[in-house]
Amino acid sequence: MYSIGVLEAAVDAFCADAVDALSAAETLVVLARLEVVQRRLGAAGLGLVPRVITQASPVELGGTSHADVLSRRLHISKGAARRRIADAEQLAPRRAVTGEVLAPVLPNVAAAFARGEIGDEHVRIVRQFFDKLPVVVDAPTREAAEQQLATMAAQFGPEHLRVGADRMMALLNPDGQFCDTDRARRRGISIGQQGFDGMSPISGLLDPETRAYLDAVFTKLAAPGMCNPNDQTPVVDGEPTPEAAESDRRSSAQRHHDALRACLRSTLASGDLGSHHGLPVSVIVTTTLAEIEDAAGIAITGGGTRLPMRDVIRMATHAHHYLSIFDDNGRPLHLGRSKRIASADQRIVLHAKSRSSPSPLSRSCCWSSTDHSPPRHWFW
């Protein structure tokens, strides 16, 4: 592709250009023009994403999903890769089954983005608007709203566009009426990456039924005095004593957290979840004998979660966990690998041997399957 070479040469020339002689006003002009160029390039990049998705499978491209492929090749996070794919689905031209080229789902927004008049923030606000718009709103009204939002986005910044989008939503759905389809489309829970302190952010939207279940659980287990980890023997059944309830200094959010933990722990211990990839649904923890003896260090679960050793020891008192222990040399158990289907013991050791991942920074083993290749060892 000849044009990409020309573009790279132009970028090199721009980066080498002297800017010391520019005044503040002239620098602002350059920044504004540069912003337009970056937006146009971003729009052009989105137009290439569907070609990657439609012309080859993720496996052919060396990944487990198209988001994984983009993440690896473009050196971006999977979240950013998924957002690009979602943006491309709305802003890139489509192709019908017959081969006919169709306009983007958001044609006016896509055109403004391609001209560099709007940026990623504008696009995000418009997409959020249509995500919240009830399905009962007819197509002509949606098309008119999209055109008006694109015009507003080209004239105003993201803050003012958000205000305008909220007012338009109030006009199109004054009673705030949503159907089951709307709620089903928006439901979801996301858990972010663990921070340096081991804590994980959580966000999302619950549908009414899930909220009702959660309320019932919290009414019981999140009451003051229930499931309090500060108690020597936390109360998980029956009623807490008045003294335990009165001495409970946890916030409401902390009680909810502890109640959810107790509920999940009880569910795992019950065995009602059956099996996954041939193993009972359990917490598989990898650690070393030295770490257990010292009660210090970090263990890794089959899902890739980092667990402080104190938590590992405490968890072992509540349920039957598969604990794979290695010596200081990291030697795993040696099991036969001649079977075409991995046994439960082999799966446990493979979890432990790879410390939740068969290669550095790749997906955790609990989301992978085990295959057999005669000339090689097991791979995931």
Q: Give 160 or 352, the one with higher predicted confidence.
A: 160
Render 315-335 in DSSP notation, one character per residue. HTTTS--EEEEE-TT-PPP--
Question: What are residue 189's DSSP bridge partners?
Answer: 204
Mean pLDDT lowest among 72-86, 157-171, 190-204, 338-352 = 338-352
Q: Tell me the C-alpha to C-alpha distance, in Å, between residue 89 and each of 6, 50, 102, 114, 123.
A: 28, 8, 12, 15, 12
CA 161 to chain centre: 26
Over range 232-261, report the average pLDDT: 92
Helices 24-55, 78-91: inter-axial angle, 10-degree rounding: 80
Q: Across all residues in the chain, what is the average pLDDT?
A: 83
Mean pLDDT lowest among 88-102, 124-138, 340-354 = 340-354
What's the token pair of residue 283? 């917490």
Separation of alpha carbons 332 and 353, rounded Å: 6
pLDDT band for 326, please (50, 70, 90 cuts): low
What's the token pair of residue 254? 């902390």
Q: What 3-state class would DSSP assign to 137?
A: coil
What's the token pair of residue 83? 């957002």
Separation of alpha carbons 229 and 255, rounded Å: 10
Q: What 3-state class would DSSP assign to 61?
A: coil
Cβ partners under 8 Å of residue 191, min gap 6? 200, 201, 202
Q: Is 302 exposed, middle or buried (0-12, 13-18, 19+ CB in 10 A)?
A: buried
| pLDDT > 70 in the chain, percent | 81
For strands 279-280 and 275-276, give the pairing: antiparallel
pLDDT digits (tens, 9 = 90+) for 211-228: 999 999 999 999 999 999
Separation of alpha carbons 360 and 355, rounded Å: 10
pLDDT band for 376, please (50, 70, 90 cuts): very low
> Where along the chain do its domains lie?
2-184, 206-270, 276-367
pLDDT value at 367 more than 80: no
Over range 301-306, report the average pLDDT: 82
pLDDT value at 342 more than 80: no
Q: Tell me the C-alpha to C-alpha distance, in Å, between residue 8 and each of 2, 311, 324.
A: 10, 52, 51
Report the pLDDT value the prediction gives residue 295, as an integer from 0 to 100.
75
Separation of alpha carbons 114 and 94, rounded Å: 15
Nearest to 127 by CA among 173, 160, 84: 84
Using the CB atoms, write b or e for 335-363: b if 16+ within 10 Å: eeeeeeebeeebbbbbbbbbbbbbeeebb
Cβ partners under 8 Å of residue 204, min gap 6? 187, 188, 189, 190
Q: Is 69 exposed, middle or buried (0-12, 13-18, 19+ CB in 10 A)?
A: buried
Separation of alpha carbons 353 and 351, rounded Å: 6
Measured at the CA of 53, the angle between CA 47 and CA 55, to 5 degrees, comes to: 100
**Long-range contacts (CB closer than 8 Å, 24 or more residues apart) made by 22-27:** none
pLDDT value at 302 more than 80: no
Q: Helices in 133-200 by DSSP H: which ranges?
A: 139-155, 158-172, 180-186
Inter-residue contact 84 to 70 (CB < 8 Å): yes
